[in-house]
Structure 1
């Protein structure tokens, strides 16, 4: 089954934690801190793969996570960086934030590769926190967490020309004749479930890309059948070829068919319905007697006054096909070629947290030690001799989870707590 939409979970890698260790060598009794930094987390990258034309792969794998950075080691050893994860998608894939539906990026045209989620920064080892007053820091910086996101992938085919028409009018046969595409062809309704792409090569001029857009029936713009799934693939096209069964092999009214499809296009997107069109009156090899001229006259009288030219063709024999293709190329040359790119609407925010380390340790003598650069800075601008300053100090300890950590370590009333050179007695 063709898939042109998928919901997946993506996450960049977490940065590795910094390491706490001290230099220990013979004849170096008081070696300084030598804890290494953690490795950087891997990036989550989206990349266009020209060999893909569906999102089928994402039906089976729904979770994509880049590698985490490794923690730092002794002797200033740096942790290994996490591996980047490259997610391959077809050209024309739009990536949306799942909860809001807003566009994060459009993987089309020049945008072939994009780092969507940056990996977390690795934490600093305790070697970075030695100061004249704190020469043996027992804390290191934890790695920054990765960014996680639920996203919706939506494929909107990139083609110059959209080939539309009711089922079984010969679109797949036409596409296989004029391009190198190999669509499945059979005499059944809704045989084609994939928007097939092909490149038309024309002698003496540049070619163009054509897409067979299946599934358009009455009510498609309201979601009947597979309407919504397939109508989106017309959004990037600049010219439309309406293919009809001019011979009414199955008893259809070709004029009514064109009106119905135009109504569906207009209901879905007025701007798309106003793009240049041409009619391919197919199956003229099935006419008998003077029926061909009668039907073609009716079609021309109805649509050519509206500026929509009618070309009688046979996708089976090739009759009239060349003339149609060169006319379509002339139409493309006259139409402005703006690349339809969906603008960015959603900005990915990195998690705004302060992850500077705070160390809460129970010492062998039963006292408790609290250390860390944030604690040192707080003490630097706080007057603990004032009642207001001491209240701020207590609030800092509570809001940063330090009191909770002390209680987990079994602190009791009147136990001594050492905070960066200050000593306090604990009372609950």
Structure 2
């Protein structure tokens, strides 16, 4: 097959995005013209990197596959390949149901994909990437898989057990990214807390972040997806002492009542959770915490939900997301519990919690009015430059809308004065 144009479409999380960037690089090295998430229809090969996490994500992935399957059937594509979480999870079923797809792959079958495209896999360039994010920030995935086996989560089934990457290779990758203009590094994994235990016999997250903070050119290092049980407390010292480690932590709690935490197999209770949150705020003054809650899990009573609401009011989080439970094949909850809460109740609880969070976010935003903050400019729009503070991650958190002026460039840091605020946006002028 001729070296044509490949369009890789990424669905799902930033971890999937890193996988797509690695594959883009391998194809680029082999002489393919590569694009990412292109809306043009001039690619003769399409690779879909799918998500299989929850019902909505699965539906989006299936619909995307079906759309491109129609194009393949009509002869508009030479090849349609599907990889990622959904493909790994339901490979046999999908192969039978959607024969227009040339091949379905597992999550990590990069070498097989390259081979099937009659190309060479460059082992020594395995972690090199064609970046798809803006030039000034990048994701750094430090491990694969997860050892936690929460009741509601199917991810360990198709990612396998936790596998930490070698620290030296991560530091080297961070240096290369910084040399190419990356100023903000978003450190991601299914579970940051476990980093190093499988490879070094103990958690090495603090040491890794400390070493990344030494990389010249990195001005913000941001931590996503730490697990609360057996949280590596020594990372708090690094966050407090290193100026370029953002005072920001993503720590999904999922619930707060002892009963629900037990049923979810979270290996932590309410008292331990509160002690952890208090300790984090004490050790890293001014930190912004992002968390996620899951409502409508089997067994969640109205009393459980009321206790969760009370907790969110008493221990407000600067940033928060809420998911309604969906029953996932072959998970512990799927096998052991009856999915007994009506969908409308799940969604109503999720909406109610997010409505509460809107008020909390509005309070936090209002407190910023009159302050001078350092921001990183992500993009230019018609009326504003759009930036973020240290307390905000791309795409999921608040943005700062800066009045247009001539001496602002995308990808640079500036000091701004906050003039106004809504729940999820701050309005500012450059100082």
Q: Same fold (TM over 0.5)?
A: no
* Structure label with greater radius of gyration: 1
Query: Normalised by the shorter chain, which TM-score bucket?
Result: under 0.3
Q: TM-score scaled by structure 1?
A: 0.27
Q: TM-score scaled by structure 2?
A: 0.27
Higher relative contact order (CA 8 A, sep 6+): 1
